[in-house]
A and B are shown apart, each in its own frame.
Chain A
Amino acid sequence: MIEVENLRVRFGRGKGAVEAVRGLSFAVKERETFGLVGESGSGKSTVLRALCGLVRDFEGTIRVASEAQRRTRTDEFHRLVQMVFQDPFGSLHPRHTVDRILGEPIAIQRLGNADLRIARALFEVGLGPSFRFRYPHQLSGGQRQRVSIARALIVEPRILLLDEPTSALDVSVQAEILNLLMRLRRERALTTILVSHNLAVVGHLCDRLLVMNAGRAVEEMTAEDLRTGAPREEYTQALLRASEGYRRL
């Protein structure tokens, strides 16, 4: 479904240039959930932004549904691929109602039947019809993230890209959103890429994962390998230890 070969992304030019992604390759099969894990600056979010077309200048090959992607993406591409961002406070227009936020992708994709689609999308993410004409500031963080998910799914994509979808949320709300994502993924037969710094979240949701550091792949493994505690690379082991919590010396 998604193939990435030798992806490189460079920001800036000359001496100040930063290579955020330095030759990364991976493939995600249909209906699979794939995790990208790493710390700040590892390039994991840049990979996702290159995939969905927000980062235009890249080298290497990105193939989505067997089609090689270039600088610009078509409307059909965005019908196929949608993204949910990290910060539900920054990614919804503060002066648009939920209705207008959800109506925009329908208008762009000329899907029609907006009224019915919006009502259904709200229902699917567990928000009642009473939320439809509210503004983002009237919603909690978890409710906003539900709106973001509804906005992504309203065009019925087959691929969902998630960039730290729960890291701005409280633990109890994170559990609700993770459950929602697992249910939608099953019902919609989605192919998903999840970017996160949290190994527990990735291990919980993903089938396979790729650990990144400084723009390079450290190791690729199955979630099963992660559970049985068998990462080969020292870097992954360090991440795993840190995720298990603080230990007194």
Chain B
Amino acid sequence: MTSPLLTVEGLRVSFPTRTRVVEAVRGIGFTVGREKVGLVGESGSGKSMTGRAIVGLVPPPGKVTAGRLMLGDVDVLRASARKMREVRGRRVSMVLQDPRFSLNPVLTVGAQIAESYRAHERVPRAKARDRALEMLRAVRIRDPERVHDAYPHELSGGMGQRVMIAMMLAPDPDLLIADEPTSALDATVQMQVLAILDDLVTRRGMGLLFISHDLRLVGAFCDRVLVMYGGRIVETLAAADLERAAHPYTRGLLAALPSLGRAGEPLPVLERDPAWLEDQR
């Protein structure tokens, strides 16, 4: 691994409210190379805000500060809006959770994929259409011609999510950020979508930052896992070592999952230690 695709150092995201400043992300650092990295945490842990900060899409009045926030050699915090538009798509793309809310309901699938492609390449319409069909085939859609001309509401959840992946991969980014890409899907469909993601990332040699609340899923799917709690990364470990997690929060999360093995017994409940929120020194 040469230079990392993404370098994050001392990233903070805060939201001023009327009475106080809410810190969503409180000083985290990590790098992502050409690998699959999972970012795991529960609601409010700051995992989604981390993803948004990387692509420069934290909604106002949120404030992003960082020691370093680099996508390859581009400094996200100092780049102009114009530069960021170029960076999004080429360097980094983001797949969002629910295709029903993230795709444009009044444009056909083909038009949306072509749009993301033509934002970066000056190509004639016919070429963009070929590219869109190629991308639909890449995400294993069986009937790309039909799906190309369909509107999002005519597709199932799994199909919609594949379309979104196709759209994000069309400009050929180095790094893909996927924010809960399969949480709105049925378990069997979820596995199909993950297999497609896995394939594409491996074959194109991309980096993947996979944001999820599902520790087990991330452990099986990714190479490395970062566990977030209260805006901090409390533990970083290789996915294979998940069962040997050291931090009580990670261990608590794993234990709280119902499993078929010990049905009927009360589940161990996670006791939150206020010390987890304090600054590490």
Q: Is A bound to B?
A: yes
- A178 pairs with B217, CB closer than 8 A: no
B residues neighboring A (CB under 8 Å): 42-43, 157, 186-191, 194-195, 198, 213-217, 219-221, 252-253, 256-261, 263-264, 266-270
- A172 pairs with B252, CB closer than 8 A: yes
- A39 pairs with B257, CB closer than 8 A: no
Contacts of A39 in B (CB 8 A): 186-189
How many CB-defined contacts (below 8 Å) exist between A and B? 92
Contacts of B252 in A (CB 8 A): 172
Bound-state CA distance A141–B44 (Å) is 12
Contacts of B186 in A (CB 8 A): 39-40, 197
Bound-state CA distance A245–B220 (Å) is 7
- A239 pairs with B260, CB closer than 8 A: no
Which 5 residue pairs spanning A and B have beta carbons closest together? Answer: A242-B187, A175-B256, A204-B258, A175-B267, A172-B270
- B220 pairs with A171, CB closer than 8 A: no
A178-211 interface mask toward B, CB cutoff 8 Å, 1 = contact, 0 = none? 1100110000000000000111110111000000
Nearest B residue (CB) for A168: B43
Contacts of A242 in B (CB 8 A): 187-188, 190-191
Bound-state CA distance A226–B263 (Å) is 11
> DSSP majority for the B interface?
helix
B200 → chain A closest CB, angstroms: 13
Contacts of B261 in A (CB 8 A): 227
Q: How large is the interface on A (under 10, 10 to 19, 20 to 34, 35 or more residues)?
A: 20 to 34
- B217 pairs with A246, CB closer than 8 A: yes
- B264 pairs with A204, CB closer than 8 A: yes
Contacts of B191 in A (CB 8 A): 241-242, 246
Given contacts A245-B217, A248-B198, contact A176 B269 (CB under 8 A): yes
- A203 pairs with B260, CB closer than 8 A: yes
- Give which listed residue, B194, B217, B258, B270, contacts A200 with CB less than 8 A: B258
- B195 pairs with A243, CB closer than 8 A: no
Given contacts A172-B269, A175-B270, A204-B258, contact A246 B157 (CB under 8 A): no
> DSSP majority for the A interface?
helix
Given contacts A197-B186, A242-B187, A249-B195, contact A171 B213 (CB under 8 A): yes
Contacts of B198 in A (CB 8 A): 248-249
A238 within 8 A of B: yes
Given contacts A39-B188, A141-B43, A246-B221, contact A199 B260 (CB under 8 A): yes
A2 within 8 A of B: no
A214-249 interface mask toward B, CB cutoff 8 Å, 1 = contact, 0 = none? 000000000100110000000000110111011111
The CB with the most chain A CB atoms within 10 A, among B219, B253, B258, is that of: B258
- A245 pairs with B216, CB closer than 8 A: yes
Given contacts A40-B157, A172-B270, A178-B267, contact A200 B213 (CB under 8 A): no
Bound-state CA distance A35–B260 (Å) is 14
Nearest B residue (CB) for A238: B188
- B258 pairs with A201, CB closer than 8 A: yes
A229 → chain B closest CB, angstroms: 8
Contacts of A175 in B (CB 8 A): 256-258, 267-270
A97 within 8 A of B: no
Contacts of A183 in B (CB 8 A): 266
Bound-state CA distance A176–B252 (Å) is 12
A174 within 8 A of B: yes
- Give which listed residue, A171, A198, A203, A246, contacts B256 with CB less than 8 A: A171
A145 → chain B closest CB, angstroms: 13
Contacts of A246 in B (CB 8 A): 191, 194-195, 217, 220-221
- Give which listed residue, B42, B157, B188, B263, contacts A171 with CB less than 8 A: B42
A170 within 8 A of B: yes
The CB with the most chain B CB atoms within 10 A, among A175, A178, A239, is that of: A175
